[in-house]
């Protein structure tokens, strides 16, 4: 069996009792990095029986081996923070487990996406989740040309060090739209900004942070 367990995105106590029990009883914990996973488990006085890692560098052969473990063992999949298999390679393990008729379950918890939507001052009935746009300049510019024509609300993400670059691009391509920017969600340094892109840019005092952006619809 494979169980996807959501881990805290900020506060270490934002994890469900069921998730802690699943981690405590797991035969194997698949994680992005043993450093982050062991730090979380230590804070909750849990000792893992066995770790395996999964990242964008994991080969198809290695993923097959991970799925074989799920055939006979109680396996838990976590990411460094948030919900595994959401914008990370976990989906490949889920897909292969499903093809092999291996049970896949989820233990819900802290969600950066739902956290962002809940902080909106507008009613959001539907939205387009774009997630991470391309890093390469030509592909990135091409993507912005598509996004600026999209009238429904957009959810965008990027790596922490591209925070100001992303806001500058919003100012350039979506100056006529309002946005909601959330930095370091659920952490002590959490900040929330809402308004025109230029207004939000003028309020940001840091260069790097975990962030998500909701672009309001036209």
For 158-187, how does the pLDDT look when each residue is reduced to its tens digit (9 = 90+)? 999 999 999 999 999 999 999 999 999 888
Question: Could you report the per-residue pLDDT of 119-128, keeping only the tens digit for each?
Answer: 898 899 999 9
Question: How confident is the model at residue 86, as a pLDDT?
Answer: 80
* Cβ atoms of residues 69 and 28 within 8 Å: yes
Residue 84: count of CB within 10 angstroms of its CB: 27
The CATH fold assigned to 112-215 is 3.30.950
Across the range 18-24, mean pLDDT stands at 96
Identify which has the larger pLDDT, 89 or 138. Answer: 138
Could you tell me if 63 and 96 are in contact, meaning their C-beta atoms sit under 8 angstroms apart? yes
Residue 188, phi-psi category: left (phi > 0), alpha (psi -120 to 50), beta (remainder): alpha
β-pairing, 128-132 vs 154-157, is: parallel
pTM for this prediction? 0.77
CA pair distance 115, 122, nearest whole angstrom: 14
Q: How many of the other CB atoms lie within 10 Å of CB of 60? A: 9
Percent over 90 (pLDDT), the chain? 79
**CATH topology assigned to domain 2-107:** Cobalt-precorrin-4 Transmethylase; domain 1 (3.40.1010)
> Which pLDDT score is estimated for 186?
85
Number of other residues whose CB lies within 10 A of the CB of residue 9: 21
- Of the candidates 173, 3, 23, the one whose C-alpha atom is nearest the C-alpha of residue 94 is 3
pLDDT tens for residues 92-123?
A: 999 999 999 999 999 988 788 888 998 898 89
Q: Where are the domains of the chain?
A: 2-107, 112-215
- Say if CB 36 and CB 79 are below 8 A apart: no
Task: Specify the DSSP class assigned to residue 162.
Answer: G
> Residue 59 corresponds to which tokens in the numbers above?
């080969």
Q: For residues 48 and 35, what is the distance between their CA atoms, to the nearest angstrom?
A: 12
| Average pLDDT over all residues of the chain | 93
* The pLDDT of residue 213: 97
SS3 139: helix
**Taken in order 10, 12, 16, 21, is the CA torsion positive or negative?**
positive
Tokens of 86: 């959401």
What integer pLDDT is reported at residue 118 of this predicted model?
Answer: 86
What is residue 181's predicted lDDT score, i.e. its pLDDT? 97
Q: What is the pLDDT of residue 10?
A: 83
């Amino acid at each position: 069996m494979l169980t996807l367990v959501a881990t805290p995105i900020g506060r270490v106590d934002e994890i469900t009792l069921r998730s802690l029990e699943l981690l405590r009883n797991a035969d194997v914990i698949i994680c992005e990095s043993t450093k982050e996973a062991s730090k979380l488990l230590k804070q909750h006085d849990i000792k893992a029986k066995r770790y395996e890692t999964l990242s964008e560098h994991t080969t198809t052969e290695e993923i097959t081996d991970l799925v074989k473990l799920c055939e006979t063992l109680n396996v838990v999949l976590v990411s460094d923070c948030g919900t595994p298999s959401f914008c990370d390679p976990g989906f490949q393990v889920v897909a292969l487990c499903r093809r092999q008729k291996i049970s896949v379950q989820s233990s819900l918890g802290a969600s950066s996406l739902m956290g962002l939507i809940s902080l909106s001052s507008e009613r959001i009935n539907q939205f387009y989740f774009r997630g991470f746009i391309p890093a390469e300049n030509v592909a990135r510019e091409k993507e912005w040309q598509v996004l600026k024509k999209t009238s429904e609300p957009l959810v965008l993400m990027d790596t922490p060090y591209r925070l100001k670059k992303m806001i500058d691009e919003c100012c350039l391509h979506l100056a006529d739209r309002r946005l909601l920017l959330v930095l370091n969600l659920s952490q002590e340094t959490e900040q929330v900004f809402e308004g025109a892109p230029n207004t939000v840019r003028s309020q940001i005092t840091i260069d790097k942070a975990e962030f998500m952006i909701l672009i309001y619809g036209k």
